[in-house]
Structure 1
Amino acid sequence: MAGFFVSVEGVDGSGKSGMARRLGDWLHEKSIAVVSTREPGGSAGAERIRELLLGSGGILDPLAEALLFAAARADHVRKLIVPTLEAGGVVVSDRFSDSTIAYQGAGSTVDMAVIQQLQQIAVGEHRPDLVIVLDVDPAISMERARKRNGDAGVKDDRFEVEGLAFHARVREGFLRQAATDRSRYVVIDASRTPDEVWGDVRRAVRDALLKNGMELTNSLSLAPLPSPR
């Protein structure tokens, strides 16, 4: 593949979605051909599955849920991610397969061998070139998630009401994955201010793009950037 694939991962409340948006905006401002996407979702079919997953109210069996995530990912990969990479673009995804392994595998009750098999079917060899894991204590992340939902006037997401032990298992699931491949994973302390976290995210992506041999100019220097909008 001529392009570059970045996924941003972490527990709910880690600041993951905000960092993924900021990264996409930054690359776009630097005239990098970038497509920002999310999971579940990203393609028309996957977005329909997202509506089902997020509106299920916890009625789905964990295995059924994992199957739906895999189905959404298969469509996402084939309809959006692969064409973008083949065209030489950069893909920034808010979550990818690591989230399923952490949430449905480590956090829930689905056997990890089943999760891994589903991911192989859905993703094949199309894994991210760089996985950024925003790591934060679950107690901090859950408080952030509650505040976010309260400010938005929405009820807690069902993942956010699972409890501290669940989120601790999910966090460990992310960290175990990161420990398996230090060349692809970067773990960033997300308990700090957004600007501090952003500085590390930006540096990690810049270094990975350079290492991948992409054509870069000084537009990817580490000069101070404006605060996020």
Structure 2
Amino acid sequence: MSHFITFEGPEGSGKTTLIARIFEHLSKSHEVIMTREPGGIGISEMIREILLAKGNDMDERTEALLFAASRRQHLMEKVLPALEAGKIVLCDRFIDSSIAYQGYARHIGAEAVMSINRFAIEDHMPDLTIYLKLDPEIGLERISSNNREHNRLDAEEIDFHKNVVMGYNELSENFPERIKIVDASQSPDKVMEDAIEVINQYLNQEVNQS
């Protein structure tokens, strides 16, 4: 049975590390693929380079449209074929990122960004979203202290990152059935434990309903 599980959170929340660990864990008993946005396939990775390269300052609506274009191609080329094959798809970011980053932090508005993405994804929403909740100051401090390459969004002012978190918080309040919060300020092992618990509850619920 296929499942589309996405992971969201501000910069430095530990999504990439967590997804890799969950992929390894679930692969023992399920067919799983791991992917990311923007990116995941050739065209979308090229769009990612444009979006995240330092110095590529762009109009906020151009940014939102590029994210949506990358998302559409990634969905059609990688995500949907995997779901149709009955696999679990673990995706680092999806539509909630656009609403938080462009809708809230870029002040385009959640509904304007949602309308762009309705065209891009049609009705293909995640089944489950794990939101790694973290204060933006902690996330940026983590980024500055590790060897990860800093991108264009990392360099935004702190108010931008606070608005991203505000967007995610409102989304989690509006869609509590889909978006489950995990405290990302905890140790990596505790974050992993909590995320696996959320995923197992979801998978068990789906089995019982089928």
Match of 1:143 in 2: 141
Q: Structure 1, unaligned stretches of length 5 or more?
A: 215-229
The partner residue of 1:108 within 101, 106, 109 is 106
Choose 48-57 or 61-70, whichever is displaced more: 48-57
Q: Does 1:182 align with 2:181?
A: no
Larger radius of gyration, structure 1 or 2?
1
Match of 2:16 in 1: 17
Match runs of 1:15-164 below 5 Å: 15-28=14-27, 30-55=28-53, 57-148=55-146, 151-152=147-148, 154=149, 156-164=150-158
Deviations 1:165-216 (A, max 9, x none): 11111001011111112111111111111001110001111111111128xx
For 1:53, the aligned partner's letter is L
For 2:80, the aligned partner's letter is V
**CA distance in structure 2 between the aligned counterparts of 1:171 and 1:138, rounded to whole angstroms:** 7
Instruction: Note closer, same or farther for the CA distance 1:142–1:56 as it changes in structure 2 (3 Å cut).
Output: closer
**CA distance in structure 2 between the aligned counterparts of 1:190 and 1:113, rounded to whole angstroms:** 27
Match of 1:227 in 2: none
Deviation at 1:109, TM superposition (A): 2.9
Query: TM-score normalized by structure 1?
Result: 0.87
Please give the secondary structure, in 1, of the residue aligned with 2:153: helix
**CA distance in structure 2 between the aligned counterparts of 1:213 and 1:124, rounded to whole angstroms:** 26
Deviation at 1:56, TM superposition (A): 5.6
**CA distance in structure 2 between the aligned counterparts of 1:158 and 1:145, rounded to whole angstroms:** 13
Q: Structure 2, unaligned stretches of length 5 or more?
A: none
RMSD: 1.6
**CA distance in structure 1 between the aligned counterparts of 2:57 and 2:156, rounded to whole angstroms:** 14
Deviation at 1:43, TM superposition (A): 2.1
Choose 2-11 or 50-59, whichever is displaced more: 50-59
Query: TM-score normalized by structure 2?
Result: 0.94
Alpha carbons 2:71, 2:121 under 8 Å: kept: yes
For 2:116, the aligned partner's letter is L
**CA distance in structure 1 between the aligned counterparts of 2:199 and 2:157, rounded to whole angstroms:** 32
Identity of aligned residues (%): 38
**CA distance in structure 1 between the aligned counterparts of 2:54 and 2:45, rounded to whole angstroms:** 14
Please give the secondary structure, in 2, of the residue aligned with 1:5: strand
**CA distance in structure 1 between the aligned counterparts of 2:113 and 2:131, rounded to whole angstroms:** 19
**CA distance in structure 1 between the aligned counterparts of 2:56 and 2:165, rounded to whole angstroms:** 21
Deviation at 1:52, TM superposition (A): 1.6
Please give the secondary structure, in 2, of the residue aligned with 1:127: coil
**CA distance in structure 1 between the aligned counterparts of 2:111 and 2:196, rounded to whole angstroms:** 34
Deviation at 1:98, TM superposition (A): 0.5
Alpha carbons 2:18, 2:192 under 8 Å: kept: yes
Corresponding residue pairs, total: 209
Match of 1:192 in 2: 186
Moved over 4 A (4+): none
